[in-house]
Amino acid sequence: MSGTGTNLQALLDACGDPAYGAAIIAVGADRPEIEGLARAERAAVPTFVLRVPDFPDREAWDRALAERVGEYQPDLVVLAGFMKLVGPAFLSRFGERTVNTHPALSPSFPGMHGPRDALAYGVKVTGCTLFIVDKGVDTGPIVAQRAVPVLDGDDEAALHERIKVAERDMLVDTVGRMIRAGWSVTDRKVTLG
């Protein structure tokens, strides 16, 4: 996690209900003192921070991230608003059980500016995508998507906020189903249960 952590908060809230079936065992971030870490701390979830500049290079950071996450033995790793690409060491260990959310309807508008790029293109419908992380940028097998309308007069912030409402709902619903029922991937097609 890299920022404000509203996706994380939605998961923390969902995990408060035992019927949800999932528990958050740790929250990691690539920078200290962000609201997302405070959210985890308020929920009494262990946190850790691994900053890229504290390592000799990106590969060393990636190896450290894989080791640290591995200590918690997660069934699923959720990159919720995590704005760094994980590398080969992380992917070789967790690639098939790491998901990320993207604020656009993949394969449209990958990258850091999904809402801005959708607005600039003039699409009437955009949305969000939950995908299994691979080595590309927002290219992995799609687990879930939600459509969101683009309204006249939208600016980037208004559109992104509307997407984030759908994104949180998608994340909570889908992560719960993945944990409760499992998932499989065949030729990019993800099946839950």
Please give the residue ranges that form the binding site for ligand GRF (CB under 6 A): 3-8, 80-81, 101-103, 164, 167
CB 156 within 8 A of CB 115: yes
Please state the closest distance from residue 165 (CB atom) to ligand GRF, in A: 10
CB 145 within 8 A of CB 128: yes
Q: Could you list the beta-strand ranges (E) of 31-141.
A: 47-49, 77-79, 98-102, 125-132
Please state the closest distance from residue 102 (CB atom) to ligand GRF, in A: 6
- Closer of 6 and 145 to ligand GRF (Cβ): 6
- Closer of 102 and 146 to ligand GRF (Cβ): 102
How far from 5 is each of 35, 94, 120, 171, 188, CA to CA, in Å?
6, 22, 26, 13, 28
The CA distance from 21 to 19, in Å, is: 5
Please state the closest distance from residue 78 (CB atom) to ligand GRF, in A: 10
Catalytic annotation, pick one of 39, 102, 162, 164? 102
Please state the closest distance from residue 101 (CB atom) to ligand GRF, in A: 4
Q: What is the DSSP letter of 146?
A: E
Report the residue number whose CB is nearest to ligand GRF: 81
4-22 b/e with 16+ CB inside 10 Å = b? ebbbbbbbbebbeeeebeb
Angle CA 30–31–32, to nearest 5 = 135
- Closer of 78 and 178 to ligand GRF (Cβ): 78
113 is catalytic: no
Token duo for residue 70? 């591995």
- Closer of 102 and 116 to ligand GRF (Cβ): 102
List the catalytic residues. Answer: 102
